[in-house]
Structure 1
Amino acid sequence: MTFTILSVCTGNICRSPVAELILADALAGVADVQVESAGTGALVAHGVPVPAQLLAAQRGIDTTAHRARQVDTSMIRGADLILTMAREHRRAVVEHVPAAMRRAFTLRELARIADVVEADVPAALAAANATTATQGMAAAVSLAAAMRGTVPPPASPEEFDIVDPYRRSDEVYAASFSELAPAADRVAGFLLHAARLAQPSS
């Protein structure tokens, strides 16, 4: 069984592909994980802008092969975890597929939840009888969804979002990346923790 992560932003050229590739790199050691991305208003077939390419390259991430694509219902239904770059994208996903609500988070939202609930992962795995890496990650997502309403919100709701740098300055690209990369790292760490606890050899 493959655990599929879908990263979503607007154009699928700046934020979501960078998040996709950071997550894919971090989770490369876990079998049966697929990470992909799409946009709610995708600039279909366009590549990643140079400023975003350069920032990702500093992390050893090559974005040059990416081509944007439009999100659709089948992608949403097929994803075990949907990570959006802003609240507007999460709303769009849930409007497409209401049942996706429990699997859809903004990237920064899930990173924030992970900080609070990671200690509860072992109990969640036991309750779910998770014995594989993919089952462990699915149990972690379910835990995050169940605990979402109990995690104190940030001072501003905008802290759930990653700023859109498209057609803006290099400084805005850098600010966007500085919000995105730590959140992607935190989410990857949360999923890896659950995968390894469920299947220590993973």
Structure 2
Amino acid sequence: MSKQKIILVVCTANVCRSPMAAGLLRHRLEAAGLDGAYEVRSVGTWAVSGAPASSHAEQVMARRGIDISHHRAREVTAADILEANLILVMTEVHREALLAEFPAARGKTYLLSEMVGKRYDIADPYGSSLANYEYCAEEMSSIIEAGFERILSLADRGGQ
């Protein structure tokens, strides 16, 4: 079997959006029987290593049958960027930060929203209500569902 393609999901602290998006994407890959072909990882641009996912993020994912309780935050490294076939970021600020620090991110870094042909930031629900986390999760889930084939295609081609 060929090597797994790595999809890296990036947000700021790696405790809300990226762990939820990674969980949603893993769940979608499993449903398609493709979880063996792709590995989904999540990191943050300003993460406190070892921090758990926020309790609201865990609750929202649990309602969808997705367990992210074992998630621990990690800050992005050069190795993460080099190993990734595709990098999905939540905001333009995340993309700019990665491209400034890691030239290898060029050509394989996209806003999550670009997977459905749009270009907008996914708002950070950190510190807000459970309803805002639900909204964020639903928004990301819709993008992952509608953009699933594009995600796979970009990961298979190394972002190109």
One fold, TM greater than 0.5? yes
CA contact (8 A) 1:163 1:175 kept: no
1:40-73 per-residue CA deviation (whole Å, 9 max, x = no partner) reads 0002211111211121122211110100011011
2:137 to 168, 173, 177: 177
My pick for the range that moved more, 5-14 or 183-192, is: 183-192
Residues in 2 aligned to 1:81 and 1:98: alpha-carbon distance in whole angstroms: 14
Aligned to 2:19: 17
Residues in 2 aligned to 1:169 and 1:25: alpha-carbon distance in whole angstroms: 24
2:76 to 39, 62, 71: 71
Q: Which letter maps to 1:80?
A: N
More helix by share: 1
CA contact (8 A) 1:22 1:185 kept: no
CA contact (8 A) 2:5 2:38 kept: yes
| Residue 104 (structure 1) aligned with residue 106 (structure 2) | no
Residues in 1 aligned to 2:48 and 2:134: alpha-carbon distance in whole angstroms: 21
Residues in 1 aligned to 2:107 and 2:44: alpha-carbon distance in whole angstroms: 20
Q: TM-score, normalised by structure 2?
A: 0.84
Q: How does 1:40-189 map to 2 (within 5 A)?
A: 40-112=45-117, 160-189=120-149
Going from structure 1 to structure 2, the CA distance change for 1:186 and 1:175 (only over 3 Å counts) comes to same
CA contact (8 A) 1:9 1:40 kept: yes
Going from structure 1 to structure 2, the CA distance change for 1:191 and 1:83 (only over 3 Å counts) comes to closer
For residue 191 of structure 1, report the CA deviation from its aligned partner.
4.2
| Structure 1 runs, 4 residues or longer, greater than 3 Å off | 189-192
Aligned to 2:157: none
Q: TM-score, normalised by structure 1?
A: 0.68
Aligned residue pairs: how many? 149
Mark the runs of 5 or more structure 2 residues left unpaired by the alignment: 155-160
Aligned residues with identical type, % of pairs: 36
CA contact (8 A) 2:81 2:104 kept: no
CA contact (8 A) 1:13 1:43 kept: no
The structure number with the bigger radius of gyration is: 1
